[in-house]
């Protein structure tokens, strides 16, 4: 069917407005042929006006976006693809309405177009980046409920997409970590921070904990206030275990698991700082095994190592949970404790001596621990840690000398 001719008089005001409009516009007959197009429409599609006028709109519409029943009036905006003169494809937002005569009868279509190619490309880039990201990703509302999640996050947590979209992040957060997450969300919503990074535990669907590194960013709405939150999730459980293991190795004796010299120095400094904030005494107890060398020489170092492990175990039984127990040499051990007075300090020293002069079972055989024990105390936070250790060491050697004299000499 050939297109019907529009009954428009050239030069009337509507035509000048139509031609000068920045928005691409076209008038079509009811069969879908372009009767009139403006310059913006020509620029958008790369055609001359004479090439478009008289053309069926389907000829330049992407095949997948052609209306199956022909052009119809739609109350909704349409997103469609059009083929430009150079063969490239653009996305357009289309508003389509009837032009009616004085009797209300539809005689033409008016279509208005907005090129949204860049927006659609950005949306497609976001959608594919979101969906195919190797880390978990989610969009949350301002109450912390997930409104979009990717497959990676579903796999990390063991839930289906439908299950996660019915939850908020608080539903899978360990109770001890929940406050941290709520504070971070409040910081974003209130605009105090644009983004945050936190480490916290989520509960997998089967119940086990997952340590997550979470990076969240607030995305503003039209008014500039945060409208929603985009979060990224990385499972750091394995790395956290590695880091914890390395940190433990750096501060602990590998054989006994007790603190090493580095951690002991830190605990001594901390104890002296606590002295400055209140009453009490800082006590340092130093113990030296009396028979480690003979055991190593006679039975081998493997048995000697077991004797050291047994010594560590006995020391831990002699002290309180908050006390520091360290191994600082082959056969030297130190206990650091903040106690209320000198009597409590002497009691600690006596308990250590009792536990290190007792029978222990090693490989099914009973062996007797022998150790010399000394101690030193201070209520002065300005005392150097080395002075305390040296004083405890001298007291220990006094004890060792007495033991030798009591047993007729010899170690």
Domains of the chain by residue range: 13-119, 133-236, 252-406
Please report, for residues 30, 97, 112, the alpha-carbon distance to residue 92 in angstroms, rounded to integers and kept in the order given.
Answer: 21, 16, 9
User: Are residues 120 and 112 in contact, defined by beta-carbon separation less than 8 angstroms?
Assistant: no
Residue 360, pLDDT score = 82
Edge-to-edge strands, sheet with 324-327: 324-327, 332-339, 281-289, 371-378
Please report, for residues 124, 158, 367, 410, the alpha-carbon distance to residue 331 in angstroms, rounded to integers and kept in the order given.
Answer: 67, 50, 16, 17
145-149 contacts at long range (C-beta below 8 A, 24 or more positions apart): 147/228
Residue 354 pLDDT exceeds 60: yes
Question: How far is Cα 237 from Cα 199, in angstroms, rounded to an integer?
Answer: 10
Residue 4 pLDDT exceeds 60: no
The model's pLDDT over 261-293, given as tens digits with 9 standing for 90+, comes to: 988 998 899 889 888 877 789 999 999 888 777
Taking Cα atoms as reference points, which of 158, 153, 148 lies closest to residue 135?
Answer: 153
The strand pairing partners of 201, in sequence order, are 211
Burial class (CB in 10 A: 0-12, 13-18, 19+), 180: middle
Question: How far is Cα 47 from Cα 52, in angstroms, rounded to an integer?
Answer: 7
Residue 19 pLDDT exceeds 90: no
- Hey, do 13-119 and 133-236 end up sharing a CATH topology, with the first three levels equal? yes
pTM metric for this prediction? 0.52
Helix (H) or strand (E) holding 291: none
User: Are residues 234 and 136 in contact, defined by beta-carbon separation less than 8 angstroms?
Assistant: yes
Residue 410 pLDDT exceeds 70: no
Residue 138, pLDDT score = 96
Residue 395 pLDDT exceeds 90: yes
Task: State the average pLDDT over residues 219-229.
Answer: 91
Residue 40, pLDDT score = 95
The arrangement of secondary structure in 13-119, i.e. its CATH architecture, is 2-Layer Sandwich (3.30)
Domain 133-236 has CATH 3.30.450.20: yes
Residue 110 pLDDT exceeds 60: yes
DSSP symbol at 57:
G
- Enter the CATH code of domain 252-406: 3.30.70.270
Residue 301, pLDDT score = 65
* Token pair of 87 as six digits: 């063969």
Task: State the average pLDDT over residues 229-236.
Answer: 92
Ramachandran area for residue 162 (φ above 0: left; ψ -120 to 50: alpha; else beta): alpha
% residues pLDDT > 90 (the chain): 53
Number of Cβ within 10 Å of residue 303's Cβ equals 16
* Token pair of 365 as six digits: 């055989």
Number of Cβ within 10 Å of residue 201's Cβ equals 20
Please report, for residues 246, 253, 257, the alpha-carbon distance to residue 249 in angstroms, rounded to integers and kept in the order given.
Answer: 5, 7, 9
């Amino acid at each position: 069917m050939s297109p019907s001719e529009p009954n428009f008089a050239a030069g009337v005001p509507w035509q000048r407005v139509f031609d000068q409009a920045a928005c691409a516009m076209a008038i079509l007959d009811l069969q879908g042929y372009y009767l009139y197009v403006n310059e913006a429409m020509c620029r958008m599609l790369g055609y001359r006006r004479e090439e478009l006028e008289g053309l069926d709109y389907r000829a330049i519409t992407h095949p997948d976006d052609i209306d199956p029943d022909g052009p119809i009036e739609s109350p909704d905006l349409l997103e469609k693809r059009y083929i430009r003169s150079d063969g490239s494809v653009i996305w357009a937002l289309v508003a389509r309405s009837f032009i009616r005569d004085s009797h209300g009868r539809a005689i033409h279509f008016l279509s208005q177009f907005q090129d949204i190619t860049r927006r659609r490309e950005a949306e497609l880039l976001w959608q594919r980046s979101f969906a195919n990201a190797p880390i978990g990703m989610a969009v949350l509302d301002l109450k912390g409920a997930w409104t979009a999640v990717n497959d990676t996050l579903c796999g990390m947590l063991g839930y289906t997409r439908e299950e996660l979209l019915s939850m908020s992040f608080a539903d899978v957060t360990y109770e001890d970590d929940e406050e941290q997450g709520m504070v971070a969300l409040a910081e974003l919503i209130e605009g105090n921070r644009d983004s945050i990074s936190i480490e916290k535990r989520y509960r997998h669907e089967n119940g086990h904990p997952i340590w997550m590194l979470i990076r969240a960013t607030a995305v503003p709405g039209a008014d500039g206030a945060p409208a929603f939150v985009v979060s990224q999730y990385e499972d750091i459980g394995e790395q956290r275990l590695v880091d914890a293991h390395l940190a433990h190795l750096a501060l602990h004796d590998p054989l006994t698991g007790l603190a090493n010299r580095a951690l002991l120095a830190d605990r001594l400094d901390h104890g002296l700082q606590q002295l400055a904030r209140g009453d009490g005494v800082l006590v340092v107890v130093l113990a030296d095994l009396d028979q480690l060398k003979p055991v190593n020489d006679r039975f081998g170092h493997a048995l000697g190592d077991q004797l050291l492990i047994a010594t560590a175990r006995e020391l831990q039984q002699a002290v309180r949970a908050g006390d520091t127990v360290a191994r600082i040499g082959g056969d030297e051990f130190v206990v650091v404790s903040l106690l209320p007075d000198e009597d409590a300090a002497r009691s600690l020293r006596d308990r250590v001596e009792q536990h290190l002069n007792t029978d222990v079972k090693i490989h099914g055989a009973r062996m007797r621990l022998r150790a010399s024990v000394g101690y030193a105390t201070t209520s002065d936070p300005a005392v150097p840690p080395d002075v305390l250790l040296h004083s405890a060491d001298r007291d220990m050697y006094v004890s060792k000398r007495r033991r030798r004299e009591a047993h007729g000499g010899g170690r």
